[in-house]
Amino acid sequence: MSDSGFDRDRRSVSGCGLSGMMSLTGERVTGEAIRDSIAILHERSNGLGGGFAAYGMYPHRKDQFALHIMYYGAEAQGQAEAVLGEAFDVLHDERIPTRPNPGVVDPPDLMRYFVLPPAGKLEESGMSAEDYVLARVMRVNSEIPDAFVFSSGKNMGAFKAVGYAEDIADFFRLEEYEAYIWIAHGRFPTNTPGWWAGAHPFTLLDWAVVHNGEISSYGINKRYLEMFGYQCTMRTDTEVMAYLLDLLIRRHGLPVEVACDVLAAPFWEQIERMPEEKQRLYTMLRQVYGSALVNGPFAIIFARDGEMVGVNDRIKLRPLVAARKDKWLYISSEEAGIRGMCPEPDLVWAPRAGQPVIGRLGSDVVVGEPGVGETAGMGQEVPSG
């Protein structure tokens, strides 16, 4: 990777802030509430990165893949656009609207493209449309040094930068978009550099993930993912989380609950205590997906079309709080973050280690909510789906 004159090597130590909100009925709201939430968590970040992902934001082009790409220089843009022009029908392209903000400096060129794989080429490739797009995203990100696709899903988009998250919301004019899921991240990079493409969320197709923690199994996870065609190019551990979700849930078809049990697998001593049938399932998961276990402290919020999930590591080394209000689900690193987007929640709870909180579009039942749906985590029932 080339040195593009921006500082990829500033490092610092502490935790990050996460927030997410989802309307279970698909009601769309502007980015102001999520901005106010992540602003409350200001102390959890240090100005070296922040970002947002929004779902349901491009209703007029909802069937097209929306590519958000950052460029450091016209040459990178030319090369990337050549790849796009060859691989896709580009139905629309435009600069991503921004406004100057003193807290967001030296932005790269920010473009978005609405594309579709041409039917003939898609058929020739023998791939699904998603895998076709994935292969091109990987190609741009790994082969063109100063071009980074940072969003590639349908009817969703990611926005990220170096700076504080609330300034980044202003920079990207998030009050002008409406979405039914918003997730946000305020970054405090620890072992990896703070740079634009390395900010959260990490995305692939319609996955977006924001993460607080450190992935000590990064090397194992990265090598495992490479076997399935994923290239890790962002120099940040969180990237593997987005690709693992795509592999486990979209490609291997695991239910979200089971995928969470792979990422935050129960300990062997906990598996030993389970009833026999469950013991077999969890033993199998650990044997098959040992290389997809994510070790180290983490709390994540991830989303895809129709779903938002919060989960943390199996011994809860990073905080996560969830709340409900009417038909909305809220998740944040701190209760204060929840009250930043929803001042009077009906119910606030702390999810248990490794047990996901899952909101699903069209369902009033939130998995992991106390007294409602128990999840597939240790000591709980295995999902039937």
348 binds another protein (CB under 8 A): yes
Q: Which stretch binds another protein (CB under 8 A): 84-92, 239-247, 281-289, 335-343?
A: 335-343
Shortest Å, Cβ 189 to another protein: 20
Span near another protein by CB under 8 A; candidates 38-46, 164-172, 253-261, 355-363? 38-46
Residue whose token pair is 């969703």: 156
Torsion sign, CA atoms 274, 255, 320, 350: negative
Which member of 16, 232, 260, 342 is catalytic? 16
In the block, tokens 């930043």 appear at 340
Residue of the chain from 108, 198, 337, 359 that contacts another protein (CB under 8 A): 337
Nearest CA among 140, 126, 127 for reference residue 86: 140
Residue window 74-113: x/- pattern of binding to another protein, with contact defined by CB under 8 A: ----------------------------------------
Q: Binder to another protein among 107, 340, 359, 368 (CB under 8 A)?
A: 340
- For residue 16, indicate whether it is catalytic: yes
In this chain, which stretch among 81-89, 190-198, 230-238, 349-357 interacts with another protein, using CB under 8 A?
A: 349-357
Residue 278 near another protein by CB under 8 A? no
Q: What burial class does residue 269 get, using C-beta atoms within 10 Å of its C-beta: 0-12 exposed, 13-18 middle, 19+ buried?
A: exposed
Q: Point out which residues pair with 54 in neighbouring strands.
A: 157, 182
Query: Which tokens go with 275?
Result: 């009833």
Contact between 370 and another protein (CB under 8 A)?
yes
How many residues make contact with another protein (CB under 8 A)? 21
Of the candidate residues 30, 125, 231, 270, the single one contacting another protein (CB under 8 A): 270
Contact stretch for another protein (CB under 8 A) within 173-181, 187-195, 276-284, 332-340:
332-340
Long-range contacts of 264-272 (CB under 8 A, 24+ apart): 264/294, 264/311, 264/312, 264/313, 264/314, 264/353, 264/354, 264/377, 265/289, 265/293, 265/314, 265/354, 266/314, 266/354, 266/377, 266/378, 267/314, 270/378, 270/379
321 touches another protein (CB under 8 A): yes
Closest CA to 245 of 257, 255, 259, 228: 259
Tell which residue, 209, 184, 163, 155, has the closest CA to residue 34.
184
Query: Is 273 near another protein (CB under 8 A)?
Result: yes
Residues that bind another protein (CB under 8 A): 40-41, 43, 270, 273, 315-316, 319, 321, 334-337, 339-340, 348, 350, 352-353, 370-371
What is the set of active-site residues?
A: 16
